[in-house]
Amino acid sequence: MSKLARLAAVLAAIALPVAAHASLPVGATAPGIVAKGAKGGKDIDFDLRSALRRGPVVLYFYPKAFTQGCTLEAHAFAEATDEFARYGATVVGLSADDLPTLRKFSTEECRDKFAVAVASPATIKAYDVALERKGVPAGMTDRTSYVIAPDGKIAFVHSELDYRDHVKLTLEAVKKLAAK
């Protein structure tokens, strides 16, 4: 199968509606993540435990950088970054994309506002976000957003390939955490 045919199959599979993914439940302890990533085109080391010391963390897994839904979702998170920050939250996007792709995505689509990091196979498994659909290459992530409270517990989960509600719902969850 040619690269173009493979990409077309991935885009078609991502565009189809799908039932909610299993994901980790609210109240579970979030698995630790240490990953290479990028913010504003610069390499970063992301450590979930360190980030939680500053406040809640929004981890959003997305299937593939520079695809339509992932690009629109990144734009929406970028536009809301300041509001997340007002409530002490850090936003981090994760995908199985390689670091050079994430460097470019962090600047062009995340608009230098938040970090994106490499979701390793172990991270994808730990967070139960493997995108398993016919025609989709192994290793891609489902579109799942987690809000993790500073105590390391999962406070909110939204798993849906349609990107449109991820920002709104995670921001509402962050606001609820701040109100406690």
Band the pLDDT of 28: cuts 50, 70, 90. Answer: very high
In terms of residue numbers, what domain contains 153? 3-179
Domain count, the chain: 1
Which residue numbers are catalytic? 70
Task: Answer whether 147's CB lies under 8 Å from 154's CB.
Answer: yes
Residues 6+ apart with CB under 8 A from 16: 133, 161
Q: Region 35-47: what's the mean pLDDT? A: 98
Q: What is the per-residue pLDDT for 12?
A: 42
Q: What is the per-residue pLDDT for 22?
A: 57
Q: CA geometry: angle at 175 spanning 84 and 59, to 5°?
A: 50
In this predicted structure, the answer to whether residue 177 has a pLDDT above a threshold of 50 is: yes
pLDDT in tens, 75-118: 999 999 999 999 999 999 999 999 999 999 999 999 999 999 99
The overall average pLDDT reported for the chain is: 89
Sign of CA dihedral 53, 58, 59, 64: negative
Q: What is the per-residue pLDDT for 139?
A: 79
* Spatial distance between the Cα atoms of 157 and 147, rounded to a whole number of angstroms: 7
CATH number, position 172: 3.40.30.10
pLDDT in tens, 104-162: 999 999 999 999 999 999 999 999 999 887 777 777 899 999 999 999 999 999 999 99
* Spatial distance between the Cα atoms of 118 and 39, rounded to a whole number of angstroms: 12
Q: Which residue has better confidence, 22 or 105?
A: 105
Q: Region 161-167: what's the mean pLDDT? A: 94
Q: Which residue has better confidence, 129 or 14?
A: 129
Distance between start and end Cα atoms, the chain: 53
Q: What is the layout of strands, in order, in the sheet containing 34-39? A: 42-47, 34-39, 115-118, 90-95, 57-61, 144-148, 154-159
Task: Answer whether 85's CB lies under 8 Å from 113's CB.
Answer: no
